[in-house]
Structure 1
C-alpha cells in the first residue's frame, strides 16, 4: 500500500492507495516549509490525519508540496513525515505533482492556478524549464491570492464598486483595519487573500470583477506561459482557481491561440495512475 499526498498552501490531499484504488482519502490543512517549522508540520500531520493512516503498513510515502523547491525545504518535510510514518519518504514539489498528474509520461506544459500559481515544461520524466513563480508578492499571476490582493487594494483605495466592497465587509465580517491585520500581521496571508477569489466568483456579472479576473489570467499567460515554446506543446491546468473559472480560463487561452482540453481541480487521479506504473523515479 502507498500513501500519496499533494499539498498546496491551503489544503493537503492524502490518499491511501492499493494498486490503482483509493482505500481512503482525507483533506487536511496545507503545509509549507517556508512558513512552518519541522515541529509544526509534524503536529499538523499527526492531528489532522485519522489514526488508520499511521497503522497501515506502507511501502512508500510520496509527498508533493508547495515550498518543496530546495533540498533544505524537502528535508524539513521529509524529516517530519519519517517521524510520523516510519517508512521511506519521497518529497517533491507540487509543480512535479501537477506535471505527473496532468501528463504522466507525456511531454507538455503544466500550469497550476490555486492559492498561488506556477508552471513548467515537462519532458515526460523531469521538469526541464520553470518560469519562477515569484510568490504572491512578486508573482503568482492568475492565482487566488493575487486576485484577492487586487480586489483588496482597490477596496482600500476606494476604486472598487462600493456595493461590492460593502458586501465583502459584511460577508467576511471584517473591517478595513482587519484586512490590514490579516495581510501584514497574521499567519498565511496568501490563504486569506485566496479566499476572496471565492467571494468574487458570485459577482462575475459585474464588469469590474470580470475584467479584473480576465486581466489576472491574461497576466499568467503573458508572464508565464508565453515564456515557453507554448505553441508546440499541449498545455493543461490544475488547481482550484483554474477549475472554478474553467470557462473564462478557456476563453482567455483562446486569445493566445491555445485550446485547453484538460483542466483538473486536483492532480491526485493522475498521480495515482503515474505511481501505479511503478516507474523508477528520477
Structure 2
C-alpha cells in the first residue's frame, strides 16, 4: 500500500494506491514547511485527512511539496508524516512531482504555473538545472500570486480601470486596508494574492486584464525559460494558472519561439502512473 501526496501552497492532494489502483482520494489545505512548523503540519494532516487513510497499513509514503527543496525543510514534512503513519517517507519537491508526471522517464523542460511558479531541465531521472523561482516577492513570475499582486497593486495605485477595481472590492467584500493586513500580517499571503487570479480569469475579455496576464507570462519566459536550452526540447506545463490561461500562454510562448507540449492541471494521475510503473519495472 502506497500513500502519494502532492502539495502546492494552496491545497494538498492525497491518494492511497494498492497495486495499480487508487482506493482513497482526498484534498486538504496546502502544506509548506517555509510557512508552517512541524506541529502545524501534523495537526493539519490529522484533522483534515479522512480517517480511512489512517486505518490502512501503509508500506511507503511519497510526498511532493512546495517548499521542499532543502534537506532541512524536507525533514519537517518527513517527521510529521512518520509521526502520523509510522511508515517510510520520501519527500521531494513539487517541481520533481511535475516533471515525473509530465515526462515520466523522458527528457524535457518542465514548468509549474500555479499559486507559485518554477521551472527546470529534467533528464528523465533527476532535475539537472533549475532557475531559482525566488518566491512571490522576488520571483514567481507567471504565477497566480504574482498576477494577483500586480492586479491589487494597480487597483490600490488607481492604475487599474476603476470599474474593475470597484467590482473586485465588492465581490470580495474587501478594502485596501484589508488587503494590506492580509499581505503583510496574515499567514500565507501568496495564497491570498493568488485568489485574485480567478477574478482576472473571469474578465479576460477586458484589454487591461489580457495585457496584465501577457506581461506576467512574458516575465516568466524572459527570466526563466530563456535561460535553458529551450529550442531543442518540448516545454510542458503543470498547474491551474497554466491550464486556465492556456490560450494566452500559447500566444506568449510563440512570441519567444517556444514550443509548448502538454499543459496539465494536476500531477497526481501522472504520479500514480510513475510509481505503479516503477513497481512493475523493478
In which range does the TM-score fall when normalised by the shorter chain? over 0.9
Q: Which position in structure 1 is the counterpart of 2:72? A: 72
Query: 1:56: how far off?
Result: 0.6
Q: Which position in structure 2 is the counterpart of 1:273? A: 273
Structure 2 unaligned segments of length 5 or more: list them.
none
Spell out structure 1 runs of 4+ moving beyond 6 A. Answer: none
Alpha-carbon distance in 2 for matches of 1:279, 1:113: 30
Q: Which position in structure 1 is the counterpart of 2:37? A: 37
Question: Could you report, residue by residue, the CA deviation over 1:231-269 in whole angstroms, capped at 9, with x for unpaired residues?
Answer: 111110000101111111111112222232310001111
Q: Which position in structure 1 is the counterpart of 2:6? A: 6
Secondary structure, counterpart of 1:98 in structure 2: helix
What aligned pairs does 1:1-282 form with structure 2 within 5 A after superposition? Answer: 1-278=1-278
After TM superposition, the score normalised by the length of structure 1 is 0.97
After TM superposition, the score normalised by the length of structure 2 is 0.97
Alpha-carbon distance in 1 for matches of 2:224, 2:21: 35
Alpha-carbon distance in 2 for matches of 1:171, 1:58: 44
Alpha-carbon distance in 2 for matches of 1:152, 1:94: 27
Secondary structure, counterpart of 1:203 in structure 2: coil
State the aligned residue count: 280
Query: 1:279: how far off?
Result: 6.2
Alpha-carbon distance in 2 for matches of 1:17, 1:254: 39
Alpha-carbon distance in 2 for matches of 1:124, 1:25: 27
Structure 1 unaligned segments of length 5 or more: list them.
none
Aligned-residue Cα RMSD (Å) equals 1.1
